Amino acid sequence: MMAWIQFIVGASLISAGVVVLALSVLGVFRFNYVLNRMHAAAMGDTLGILLVLGGLIVFSGFTFLSLKLLLTIIMLWLTSPVSSHLIGRLEVHINERLNEHVREVKH
């Protein structure tokens, strides 16, 4: 009985992760501006990676493999937002037509 619960939880997490990653890919293709595309990709891969690797952790149980998967999640969660932020800042600094895509907010 416990194996079935482990299978259902793991399969559900992996399925949800695949759906999030697929929606992220759809967002990358649907958005027109590079910063919007990058945001869709960064947010999708962060949540998608958590769900897929979380499902794999549930499948593997409490083993050394689950510790390695958890460390992979932590490493990707630390590096993906930082790299996305740096790429976004580079785009803001080198894009000469940025005002066409960004609405100005008046305070």
Residue 47: what pLDDT? Answer: 92
Q: Mind listing the pLDDT tens digit for each residue in 12-63?
A: 999 999 999 999 999 989 988 878 888 888 888 889 999 999 999 999 988 9
DSSP character for 102? -
Q: Which residue has the higher pLDDT, 105 or 69?
A: 69
Q: Which two tokens stand for residue 53?
A: 């690797």
Tracing tokens 């794999």 back to the chain, one arrives at 56
Interval 61-99: pLDDT, tens? 889 999 999 999 999 988 888 888 888 888 777 877 666
Is the pLDDT at 107 greater than 60, yes or no?
no
Between vectors from CA 9 to CA 8 and to CA 15, what angle results, nearest 5°? 85
C-alpha distance from residue 99 to each of 15, 38, 39, 90 (Å) = 39, 18, 18, 15
